[in-house]
Amino acid sequence: MDRKKFFKTVGIAGTSLVAMSSTADARTRIVSPDWMGMLTDLSLCIGCRKCEWACNEANKLPNKPIQSFDDPSVFQEERRTHAEQFTVVNRFEVDDRPEPVFVKKQCMHCAEPACASACLVRAFSKTAEGPVLYNKDVCIGCRYCMIACPFLVPTYEYADAFSPEVKKCTMCFERFTQQGEVPACAGICPREAITFGKRSDLLKLAREKIRSHPDRYVDHIYGEHEVGGTNWLYISPVPFEELGFRTDLGETPYPEMTRPFLSAVPLVLSIWPMLLMGSYMFSKKREGEAPSTDLHERVDS
Amino acid sequence: MSRPTINTPGLHLLGRFSYSSLLILMLVCPVVAQAQEQDQPGSSHPKLDNQVCFDCHQCAAPTANDPCLKSCLRSRGEHGVGRQPSAEYPEVIIIDELLELYKPVVFAHKYHADMSKMGAGCTECHHYSPAGNYPACKECHDAAVTSLDRPNINQPGLKGAYHQQCLDCHIAWSNTTGCNFCHLSIEQALAGKDIRGEGDSYHLSQPRIKSEARYVYETEYEDGPMVTFYHDNHVDMFGLECADCHQGDACGSCHRVGAIARVKGDLHEDCSTCHDENDCTICHRSSVAPAFSHAAKSGWELGAQHENLACSACHNTARASGMLSSSCGECHQSWEVGNFDHAVTGLALNIEHAELDCESCHGDPLFANTPICSSCHDGDVAYPEDVPGARSNDN
Ligand code: SF4
Ligand code: SF4
């Protein structure tokens, strides 16, 4: 590519970025009644961490014998999800409550995922079924998704020097679409603290639980409105801010907020990944493989 | 792509109670409810006035003979109270519907049923059950928890139902979420531990209740500040049930090590169920009272034959102080030649004496005085120098 051509490409890319950001406000918010989701009832969770074990099994992540998950010493510090652990359970001691509250964390499967909108090559997509999925074949490793996610979920396989991927919970997409089974964590949870179902049904269930047991729950379904809604919902016996949940996120979908930020990123930074992707796709084509495109039907954004 | 669905009520309408069917029924119900009310104004359901018929019944015209009660009732207000007679409920239930990672749980149903008398009875666990009819958990809670075909996400599946119900209490007093509290792991089972085989194995690791044998209270009653309460006497000897004194307390108040359980209400009221309330000295002393002694209390020492009996074996009044005469025949009315093994007294009669009436030797009904030999024998024979048989060593 000669100098002249390079600047021409940059010019076109720059214009299209501006165009993209100006259409942002016209977007209509889509919350599909058919989306599947999960409801975690924190009043039921006992911190047994069987969901962590089952998640590792289902996703072929490094695992330990199930008995070792009974060890409560991991609760001494608050843990984060990482590339080898898509879900973690943390313990919170809450004032005036004799028993601690346990919180299972994983990807929230946002209705309008910040990770997806931050990704310049559309490696993340919101599926029609609800889960937000990652396509390793188009990822260029820029890790914008990690910065964009308000829940600090996607993580990079730093340990893998050759083909590192961004990793996170998939809501066991294959498992429920193809094997007819609920996600692994929901299946193993002894107390059924995690329920899998249509997001709209789960919201009804959550509301009914709160209505019929006002002594057991605070009147808040986390994820109903946060960041424009998420497919993973929570109900809790104590206010969410006491359990490490971010309650400062507002109800505006993150993509609407991150887009101006992204368009302000210096041109060379935003264009660099595109160029890389271009050369990546080019090289893939040369190898005779079609670059894999969208695996899943995409909710239009 | 075929979309996964969870709520497929149509499939279940015929076979089992589902929420959608309830909904449909409830739409129809007010009409029926009204008809019923007109037919039987103020009838046999005085406490259920906020409910509609189909909350409990599955047919439109329930009768006394065929009330067609739903087994998976989820009533909105009242639900069943009372208990089944103990003969009708199972003693032990092996829970082995869901076996993936752990061995079955041997659930000591009877122990729990007995303990539930300290609370709300069967409904403590069998919630939403119609009175007098307590279906097993699996009647209502679906075992297919991991399958997308699960009919109803609004109700816990069977695994969730077990763990929600059991752990609500067990966590509160055991402070453990370890699975092996109730289950044996497959490894343990393979290592040869069979939970069904070991004598009193129902309890597994559940600690037995350890109560102190004796509690001493210091009260403000000046004439007798010390009250000594022998818990073991009351339980082991007087045969009281836990629920006779303990009511409405959390499980942990008895099961947690070092816990002190409360009694039902006012101590005076509880104790005076058996003890005379007007006699303060029964409980209030100036020093620690000795444990119950039948000899000290009644002047009659319980021998080897009597000391292991429950009070109620002889005293049939709630107040054990209902005095008996010391005549053996008061209880042992049926003793006669042939049905009394004299060897239990330490003396096995020889054949000549075994056929005699008791009164031939024992002139008085107390059997305590020295037997008389002279009614048959000359003066040269006398007890205890001469014995009418052989002394046995075992007594
Ligand atoms: S939680 Fe983070 S990773 Fe998951 S969908 Fe939302 S933005 Fe993306
Ligand atoms: S398996 Fe269920 S109860 Fe156990 S830690 Fe996970 S969510 Fe909580």
Better-predicted residue by pLDDT, B84 or A136: A136
Which residues of chain A are within 8 Å of residue B146 when distances are taken between CB atoms?
181-182, 186-187
What percent of chain B shows pLDDT beyond 90? Answer: 4
Number of structural domains, chain B?
4
pLDDT of residue A286: 45
pLDDT digits (tens, 9 = 90+) for B4-14: 333 333 333 33
Which ligand gives the minimal distance to the CA of A229? 1
pLDDT of residue A12: 43
* A156 & A238 share domain: yes
Which ligand gives the minimal distance to the CA of A145? 1
Q: What value does the mean pLDDT take over residues B358-367?
A: 78
Range of the domain at A96: 32-252
* A16 & A120 share domain: no
Decide if A191 and B160 are in contact by the 8 Å CB cutoff.
yes
For residue B384, whether the previous peptide bond is cis, meaning omega lies within 30 degrees of 0, is: yes
CA of A83 to the centre of ligand 1 (A): 14
CA of A131 to the centre of ligand 1 (A): 10
* A10 & A106 share domain: no
Query: From atom 2 of ligand 2, which residue's Cα is the shortest distance away?
Result: A189
Within-domain flag for B143: yes
CATH number at residue A143: 3.30.70.20
Q: What value does the mean pLDDT take over residues B258-286?
A: 81
pLDDT digits (tens, 9 = 90+) for B149-170: 776 788 888 889 989 988 888 8
Instruction: Pinpoint the alpha helices (H) of A24-142.
Output: 50-58, 114-118
For residue A255, whether the previous peptide bond is cis, meaning omega lies within 30 degrees of 0, is: no
The neighbouring-strand residues paired with A101 are A92
Range of the domain at B247: 214-292
* B346 & B381 share domain: yes
pLDDT of residue B187: 54
pLDDT of residue A290: 41
* A161 & A283 share domain: no
Mapping DSSP to helix (H, G, I), strand (E, B) and coil, where does residue B234 land?
A: helix
Instruction: Pinpoint the alpha helices (H) of A80-150.
Output: 114-118, 144-148
Within-domain flag for B303: no
Last-in-domain residue among B140, B170, B203: B203
Write the residue in A44, A47, A195 that is nearest to B164 by C-beta.
Answer: A44
* A99 & A240 share domain: yes
Q: Are B172 and B252 contacting, i.e. CB atoms less than 8 angstroms apart?
A: yes
Given a cut of 50, whether residue B27 has pLDDT beyond it is no
Q: Are strands A232-235 and A36-41 parallel, antiparallel or unpaired?
A: parallel
pTM: 0.68
Decide if A191 and B179 are in contact by the 8 Å CB cutoff.
no
Which amino acid, B106?
Answer: V
* A174 & A244 share domain: yes
| ipTM over cut 0.85 | no
* B225 & B195 share domain: no
pLDDT digits (tens, 9 = 90+) for B212-249: 888 898 989 999 999 999 988 888 878 788 888 888 77
The whole-angstrom separation of Cα B177 and Cα B170 is 9
Number of structural domains, chain A?
2
The whole-angstrom separation of Cα A87 and Cα A63 is 13
Those residues of chain A that have pLDDT short of 70 are 1-30, 257-301
Q: If we measure between CA atoms, which residue out of A57, A36, A134, A233 comes closest to residue B1? A: A36
**Cβ(A109) – ligand 1 distance below 6 Å:** yes
pLDDT digits (tens, 9 = 90+) for B132-152: 778 888 888 888 767 777 767
* A168 & A281 share domain: no
* B354 & B277 share domain: no
Residue B305, CA atoms < 13 Å, CB-side half-sphere? 10
Within-domain flag for B139: yes
Mark out chain B residues that contact chain A at CB-CB < 8 A: 1, 3-7, 101, 145-150, 153-154, 156-157, 159-160, 163-164, 167, 171-172, 177-179, 185, 187
Transcribe B25-36 into DSSP letters.
HHHHHHHHHHHH
* A128 & A236 share domain: yes
Within-domain flag for B19: yes
**Cβ-based neighbour number of residue A135 at 10 Å:** 19
pLDDT of residue B58: 63
* B196 & B218 share domain: no
Last-in-domain residue among B276, B292, B308: B292
* B221 & B284 share domain: yes
Decide if A191 and B167 are in contact by the 8 Å CB cutoff.
yes
pLDDT digits (tens, 9 = 90+) for B291-315: 888 888 878 788 777 877 777 777 7
pLDDT of residue A274: 58
Q: Token pair for residue B157? A: 């599946």
* A213 & A142 share domain: yes
Which residues of chain A are within 8 Å of residue B103 when distances are taken between CB atoms?
none
Within-domain flag for B307: no
Q: How far is A199 from chain B (nearest CA, A)?
A: 11
* A54 & A7 share domain: no
CATH number at residue B193: 3.90.10.10
* A53 & A171 share domain: yes
* A133 & A101 share domain: yes
The whole-angstrom separation of Cα A14 and Cα A16 is 5
The whole-angstrom separation of Cα B373 and Cα B363 is 10
Q: What value does the mean pLDDT take over residues B382-394?
A: 79
The whole-angstrom separation of Cα B382 and Cα B374 is 8
* B169 & B103 share domain: yes
Mapping DSSP to helix (H, G, I), strand (E, B) and coil, where does residue B176 land?
A: coil
Within-domain flag for B247: yes
Q: Token pair for residue B377? A: 């024998």
Residue B334 pLDDT grade (very low, low, confident, very high; cuts 50, 70, 90):
confident
Within-domain flag for B78: no
Last-in-domain residue among B275, B292, B309: B292
Within-domain flag for B306: no
Which residues of chain A are within 8 Å of residue B159 when distances are taken between CB atoms?
190, 192
**Cβ(A227) – ligand 1 distance below 6 Å:** no
